[in-house]
Chains A and B, each alone.
Chain A
């Protein structure tokens, strides 16, 4: 294949007590566009995101982003390697304003040393970060809420703020963990538009999502997980017809265990 792998995992394994959440998982995300990651509840999608972003350590396996091995390293190191993410259960900084949340997303770009912070010589970078943050807030249509505490936003607004905060990092790879959950159709359309805008700027997105119609429409490639294993990977049309996928989703008896 001509496309280059941005994210490559191999042999990724993680268990919780007796439950094998990821089992020898090998997944490739190519640079550019949106790749889907789907599967029934409990199939290991969120665990995968948590392991790749450094929130969880894998028991075994490799995670390589743009050639750098980061499996088992801390989350801030994954962030430094160019990975940004949103959280399925919303983890905004509730005590900070909407703008401050987005500025936090750009934390790594600030590179503030303690001395620079105390002397106030970091203002130019802060200003640049702030201009970018305001552009992102316009994109996710939260400009009017900029100065309010993040905790006061509506659910849909909080979901958009999660994405805005991740975008402020200017990541190479953006991991979106169910960004459409609980949204009405108008809000969904807004988020799809944000994703397309983001991809146009050269960011690669790995989209974990249950809203099948959206996944099928926006993803060039889809990977399907079940019980921590990859059961299918390919373009939407092929996934839709895949026997193993249909079985996993409709819950027919499994013969391949």
Chain B
């Protein structure tokens, strides 16, 4: 935490200014991409908490994302509850569902846990199709309202973009605090050696479950934002491919790096869009880009400024 060479302050400042100043100048579609990058960055950060610091793999984060999104969607449409109440409800319900995955993480590690998380994601998606009384099944949920802030409906994508930026910044700040605290240190320690961490007094079970619950809560927050942004949900958006996409964002950006998750979301979300005109070649080029990044920057895009992988220092 203290030896990491941070990205040059200048680069961070430029990125922050750009994140605020550029979007008003963008075409509608580019602005839409920016909002999605912000939402996915929050989702990627939630996954990074588990993968990067606690050393556990989850390939079921689309399941948490779904629970958060549907909670907000259903509360704001069928029950007429305001977004500002639906958001904390999404966080709370998704965090509670994190317990479901936190408990198996106590017994299984590595690829066993990864398979369990895949199953979790599939179960959640299947339920969202079949529990029609609750979720409207394949019809999905439509006409989800945008949030209203100080009497203004955030109907314009630009206004919504700034909401996402503010929440992303808050998540960044909280995660940073968490990671540099004794809690974060203990998570990194149990990633390196569970037995030794237990002998230092770390209650392994409590820490792992806490990590899963926090991660799920943040993913639920991303889901809530997604629902009220796109205003229409159906189960198709929350499959295994989405879980894997988020995982790739974390890895490409840098496992165990907060800024990396944001860079990774940008790269994984925007690059395919830029490459889309290439049509059939676009997957080939995208694949090559991923392999090249992993070969030359095994610590992810976040290590472009330093040589060692982040979080491992």
Contact = CB atoms under 8 A, between A and B. Distances in A.
Interface stretch (B72-80, B185-193, B235-243): B185-193
Interface string B35-53: 0000000000000000000
B200 A108 contact: yes
Interface stretch (A116-124, A234-242, A245-253): A116-124
Contacts of A110: 182
Given A74-B198, A104-B200, A126 B210 contact: no
Contacts of B3: 97, 147-149
Contacts of A85: 199
Interface stretch (A24-32, A87-95, A136-144, A183-191): A87-95
A105 B186 CA distance: 10
A219 interface: no
B174 to A, nearest CB: 6
Contacts of A120: 177, 181
A114 B183 contact: yes
A104 B185 contact: yes
Contacts of B290: none
A54 interface: yes
Interface stretch (B56-64, B201-209, B280-288): B201-209
Interface in B147-203: 174, 177-178, 181-186, 188-189, 191-193, 195-203
A229 interface: no
A126 B180 CA distance: 10
A96 interface: yes
* Size range of the chain B interface in the assembly: 20 to 34
A120 B181 CA distance: 8
A117 B182 contact: yes
Question: Which of B3, B191, B200, B202 is most buried by chain A, counting CB atoms within 10 A of its CB?
Answer: B200
B174 A76 contact: no
B189 A104 contact: yes
B177 A112 contact: no
Contact of A93 (B181, B193, B198): B193
Interface of B: 1-3, 174, 177-178, 181-186, 188-189, 191-193, 195-204, 210, 311-313
21 contacts: A53-B199, A54-B198, A54-B199, A55-B195, A55-B199, A76-B198, A85-B199, A91-B195, A91-B196, A95-B188, A95-B191, A96-B189, A97-B3, A97-B313, A107-B200, A117-B182, A117-B183, A117-B184, A118-B178, A118-B181, A120-B181
Q: Closest 9 interchain pairs by CB?
A: A117-B181, A108-B201, A75-B198, A79-B201, A91-B196, A93-B192, A110-B182, A112-B182, A117-B183
